[in-house]
Chains A and B, each alone.
Chain A
Amino acid sequence: MGNLLAAVVSAEAADSGESKSYIERMFSSDGFHAPSITDFFPPALFGDGTIFEFNRIMMVRLIAAIALIVVFAIVAQRAKVVPGRFQASIEFLLDFVKNQIVEPVMGHEGKRFLPILTTIFLAIVFFNITGVIPFLNIASTSLIGLPIIMALWVYVLYLAHGVKKHGLGGYLKNSLFPPGVPKAIYLLLTPIEFLQVFILRPATLALRLAANMIAGHLLLVLCFSATQYFFFAASGAMKATGAVTFAAGFAFTLFEVFVALLQAYVFTMLAAVYLNMALEEEH
């Protein structure tokens, strides 16, 4: 896949040395490296070629998961009625899920789904934000596996609760044969609804998240790689162009922080909406 994008080696990059150390390469340029899809398939640390293949993206996921658990375990253990600074910030996140997502979408009934939706939101925030953290530098969700797992989680969740509430037949009738339309329309509507409920919803959840993170990473790497090239390899007035790409990198970093939160918000919001649709009597 990556080879589709990869092509000719530029002239400056010709003498790239395997001999240079990582630190040396940090402050020099062997030419411009365009970001490519291979960034998302780094070499394996171990288990190469097996289902247990462990590369740096898996490592980043592990770090994000541990950070999430540790941060919240510490806050939970030291929670007080009168919150300190850190607890107040964490509480802000929890309140955000409650007041901005669950209650407006699901109303009072949403209370029992608050824990699971909060977990989804926080997990996605932590997995996304690794994209802008130095040394990690890639969103854990930019590889489609994790978004698929999270989308499947939501998929199973809303199907299970829909079937549990209405029974299998009731749920299918509710979702596939929405009331209030002429019978003939079902010929058109039912296949669309079927696609919606059983395929498109989970697929779009996973794809939207992964695609946003992939695009974000490519943008950042493009800016950083160009900055590196302009500062260390280009000469004269071209060096000044590096300031522009650096500024762009700065702006996109801030933008990526925003996108990380936004995508978590969108994902959780849609999960709440799908759950609500599954539970509704008629829709």
Chain B
Amino acid sequence: MMLAQTLLLAEEAHTSEVEGADLILPAPYDLLWSIVIFAIIAVVFTKVILPKLQAVLDERAELIQGGIEKAEKAQAEAAAALEEYTAQLTEARAEAARIREDARVEASQILAEARRRAGTDAERIVETAQRQIDAERHQAVISLRTEVGSLATELASRIVGESLADDARQQRVIDSFLDDLESTVKAEG
């Protein structure tokens, strides 16, 4: 009603000469009331609406950030686990190799030891046998010496008919006989 009436009223004819601020600014009333309204809207927005929206936006950003961080953490953990596993595997392989190597060395040591021991045993056995043989031979020689001596004496006395009762002579004859015998054996052997 009022508006319609005032609309019918008209405005001043457009002035031809305009200068200064009017060139770049809107009509004063246009500017004044748009500033007032803009201020009201700005206050409502900054105090009421934007904080709520920003809270949502921040929450979303945090959510995304959190998700990315979680994924990164999981990836890092997986990588660490893989690295650890690989390290363990390498270590296990190295250990296995070392154990094999040790076993081989030990085996060769055992073998060498066994050989050495067998060698000494054999030597000892040979030595003992040699010593025994020597002893037996010696014994044989001694017993032979006595027996052969008496036998030969008896035989000789029977053959010769000569009494060789004299011990000293008898012994001398036997010894020279045996020495002859021995040297003949050695020369032949």
Q: Which candidate, A8-16, A150-158, A183-191, A192-200, is the interface stretch facing chain B?
A: A8-16
Chain A interface, >50% SS class = helix
A46 to B162, CA, bound (A): 181
Q: Are A45 and B30 in contact (CB under 8 A)?
A: no
Q: Are A82 and B37 in contact (CB under 8 A)?
A: no
Q: Are B32 and A27 in contact (CB under 8 A)?
A: yes
Chain B residue nearest in CB terms to A5 = B10
A138 at the interface (CB under 8 A from B): yes
Closest Cβ–Cβ distance, residue A123 to chain B (whole Å):
22
Using Cβ atoms and an 8 Å threshold, which residues of chain B touch A32?
Answer: 6, 9, 11
* Complex interface bits, B10-51 against A, C-beta within 8 A gives 1, otherwise 0: 111110001011111111111111111110110000000000
Q: Which candidate, B55-63, B149-157, B166-174, is the interface stretch facing chain A?
A: B55-63
Partner of A253, one of B14, B37, B54: B37
Q: Are B38 and A33 in contact (CB under 8 A)?
A: no
Partner of B25, one of A8, A55, A135, A223: A135
Q: Are B32 and A228 in contact (CB under 8 A)?
A: yes
B68 at the interface (CB under 8 A from A): yes
Q: Are B3 and A134 in contact (CB under 8 A)?
A: no
A26 to B21, CA, bound (A): 12
Known: A3-B13, A82-B65, A88-B61. A222 touches B7 (CB 8 A): yes
Partner of A226, one of B6, B11, B18: B6
Q: Are A138 and B26 in contact (CB under 8 A)?
A: yes
Using Cβ atoms and an 8 Å threshold, which residues of chain A touch B21?
Answer: 22
A99 at the interface (CB under 8 A from B): no
Q: Are B3 and A13 in contact (CB under 8 A)?
A: no
Using Cβ atoms and an 8 Å threshold, which residues of chain B touch A45?
Answer: 23-24
A125 to B38, CA, bound (A): 18
Using Cβ atoms and an 8 Å threshold, which residues of chain B touch A59?
Answer: 24
A2 to B2, CA, bound (A): 23
Q: Are A134 and B10 in contact (CB under 8 A)?
A: no
* Complex interface bits, B60-75 against A, C-beta within 8 A gives 1, otherwise 0: 1100110010000000
Known: A22-B25, A26-B29. A83 touches B61 (CB 8 A): yes
Q: Are B38 and A132 in contact (CB under 8 A)?
A: yes
Interface, chain B (partner A; CB < 8 A): 2-3, 6-7, 9-14, 18, 20-38, 40-41, 54, 57-58, 60-61, 64-65, 68
A-B contact pairs, 18 of them (CB 8 A): A3-B13, A7-B9, A10-B9, A34-B10, A45-B24, A81-B68, A83-B61, A221-B30, A222-B7, A224-B29, A225-B29, A227-B33, A228-B29, A245-B3, A246-B33, A253-B34, A253-B37, A254-B41
